[in-house]
Amino acid sequence: MTTRTSLTIVLAAGEGTRMRSSLPKVLHPVAGRPLLAHVLAAAPHGEGDKLAVVVGPDHQAVADETSRLRPDAETYVQAERLGTAHAVLAAKDAIARGADDLLIAFGDTPLISSETFARLREPLRNGSALVVLGFRAVDPTGYGRLVVEAGQLAAIREQADAGPAELAITLCNAGVMAIDGRIALEVLEQIDNANKKGEYYLTDAVGIVRKLGLTASVIETDEDEVRGINTKAQLAEAEAVMQTRLRQAAMAAGVTLISPETIHLAADTTFGKDVTIEPFVVIGPGVSIGDGAVVHSFSHIVETSLGKKTSIGPYARLRPGTSLGDGAKIGNFVETKAAQIDAGAKVNHLTYIGDAHIGAGANIGAGTITCNYDGYNKHRTEIGAGAFVGSNSSLVAPITIGVGAYIGSGSVITRNVPDDALAVERNDLSVREGWAKRFREAKARVKKPKES
C-alpha cells in the first residue's frame, strides 16, 4: 500500500463524428445541462487536483463552458481528430508535470458519479499500474471489449479490430482509466495507430503496461452509469436514465410527482417541502420551487423561481427571469418573461407579462398584454401593489400603473396612471334599441338564414 495524493485529470472532450450536428458533441444537453458539465461536476475536485480538458479545433464554446464551470481547468486544443490517445496527449504538458495518479475520462459519458471516479483510483494504491472502468453491456456493439486472462486485464479490443471470440465479450470499456502517474507519459507515447481505423487508441495502453511487466485491472460499474454518447439515439437513452434518477431523487426528498414518467426535470431543479407536480410538466434549467407550490399539468418552466404556496397552470409558460412571490398565482394560457410577480398577485388567464414588475396582491385580468416590444427595443411595465387591470387591456411599455390603480377593461394604456386612479380608454358605448330585430326582419324578407 503506497500513499498517493496528487492527481491530474485529463478529460477528452473533442468532437465525435456521429451526432450530425453543428453543436459540439459534449455541449449537447442531458437534463438541461451539457454532457461536459455533468462529467465536470462528477470529476474529482480535491485541493491541488489538476484538471486538463482537451477540446476540438474551432471549439471555443467548449473551452468557454469549461472555464465557466471549472475556472481552475486548463484547456488544450487537439488540432486533428486522430484518436483518444492522441486527444489525451494534447494535454502532454499537464501530464508531464507528473502527479501520482493520472485519471482519464471522456466528455461524452454524462451519467458517471464522483464515487466511481474515486473507486477507480483505489487499485493503484495496491500495485496496479493501470485501472479501467468496465461494465456488462446489454448490447456491446461499438464499445471496446475487455479481454481478461487469469483474472487480469490483458487487453482492450476495439469493435473494428475484434475477432469473433472477442466480439462475444460483453464486459466493455467505459472509457475511464487511471494510470500510475510515474509511467503514464511513457505508456501513452508508445501508442501507435496500427489498427483498422488508423487511430491512436487510448485502449492500447493496457497492452503496453502488460509488456512492461506491470499489472492492469478492471473495476466494474453499472451500464447506466457509463453510457457513452455517440449518437442522438444514445443521447436520448442517457436522458431517460437521468430523468429516472432525478424523479426518484425528487420523490425521495418529499416531492409529490403524479405520473412521474410524464414529468421532465432538469439536473439543477430545487424543491421545497410539500411541492406537487401534476402530469405532463416540463421543467428546464434554473428552476427553484418553494414549499407548498403546485404546478398543474402541461406547464413549461425555465429559469424561474416560484415562491411558497404558488400555483402555476395548467398550461402556464414561465420563461427565463420569472420570479413569483409567495402565494402568487399564474393560471392557464399565461406566458411570462423577465417578470417579477410579487406575493399574492394573480395573473389567471390568457395573458402575456414580459419585462414587468407586478406589485403584491395586484390582479391582472384575462387577456392582458404588456406590449413590451416596439420592434427595436424592449420596455418595462411597472404595476403597483393592489392594482386591478381589467380584462383585455394592452399596457404599452414603458409604463407605470400606480399602486391601487384601476384599469377599465379593454383599454389601451399609453400613459402612466397615478396611484388609486381609474384609467379607461374606450369609445362611448352606443346602444340602439330594437336594431337587431329590425335587421333580422329586413334580411328575412330577401333571404333565409344560413343553416349552421
Residues tagged active-site: 349
Q: Closest separation between CB of residue 153 and ligand UD1, Å? A: 12
**CB closer to ligand UD1 out of 109 and 323:** 109
Distance (Å, rounded) from C-alpha 48 to C-alpha 20?
38
**Measured over all CA atoms, what is the biggest interatomic distance in the chain, rounded to whole angstroms?**
108
Site string for ligand UD1, 308-337 (x = CB under 6 A): ------------------------------
Instruction: Kindly state whether residue 84 participates in binding ligand UD1, applying the rule CB under 6 A.
Output: yes
**CB closer to ligand UD1 out of 136 and 378:** 136
At 155, give phi and psi (nearest 5°). Answer: -165, 165
**CB closer to ligand UD1 out of 236 and 422:** 236
Site string for ligand UD1, 187-216 (x = CB under 6 A): --------------xxx-------------
86-105 binders of ligand UD1 (CB under 6 A): 86-87
Binding residue for ligand UD1 (CB under 6 A) from 8, 9, 10, 14?
A: 14
What DSSP designation does 77 have?
E
Look-up of cell digits 397552470: 313
227-246 binders of ligand UD1 (CB under 6 A): 228, 230
Binding residue for ligand UD1 (CB under 6 A) from 7, 9, 51, 54?
A: 54
> End-to-end alpha-carbon separation of the chain, Å?
89
In a 3-state reduction of DSSP, which class is residue 31? coil
Considering CB distances under 5 to 8 angstroms, the limit depending on partner class, which of ligand UD1, Ca ion, none binds residue 107? Answer: ligand UD1
Q: Which stretch binds ligand UD1 (CB under 6 A): 10-18, 207-215, 236-244, 310-318?
A: 10-18
Q: Closest separation between CB of residue 69 and ligand UD1, Å? A: 16
Instruction: Kindly state whether residue 16 participates in binding ligand UD1, applying the rule CB under 6 A.
Output: yes
> Is 157:207 a contact under the CB 8 Å cutoff?
no
With residue 334 as reference, give the H or E element that holds it. Answer: strand 329-341
Residue 113, Cα to own-chain centre: how many angstroms?
A: 17
Instruction: Kindly state whether residue 157 participates in binding ligand UD1, applying the rule CB under 6 A.
Output: no
Q: Closest separation between CB of residue 124 and ligand UD1, Å? A: 20
Q: Closest separation between CB of residue 65 and ligand UD1, Å? A: 14
At 361, give phi and psi (nearest 5°). Answer: 70, 5
Q: Closest separation between CB of residue 315 and Ca ion, Å? A: 39
Interface with ligand UD1 (CB under 6 A), residue total 31
Distance (Å, rounded) from C-alpha 311 to C-alpha 320?
17
List residues bridging with 378 in a β-sheet.
Answer: 373
Residues 6+ apart with CB under 8 A from 196: 158, 160, 161
In a 3-state reduction of DSSP, which class is residue 403? coil
Q: Closest separation between CB of residue 157 and ligand UD1, Å? A: 9
At 375, give phi and psi (nearest 5°). Answer: 95, -15
> Residue 254: exposed, middle, or buried by beta-carbon count in 10 A (0-12, 13-18, 19+)?
exposed
**CB closer to ligand UD1 out of 135 and 352:** 135
Q: Which residues bind to Ca ion, rule: CB under 5 A? A: 108, 228, 230
Distance (Å, rounded) from C-alpha 164 to C-alpha 167?
5
Smallest CA-to-CA distance from 383 within 410, 352, 361, 408 is with 361
- In the complex, the residues that contact ligand UD1 under the rule CB under 6 A are 12-16, 25, 54, 78, 81-84, 86-87, 106-109, 143-144, 156, 158, 172-175, 201-203, 228, 230
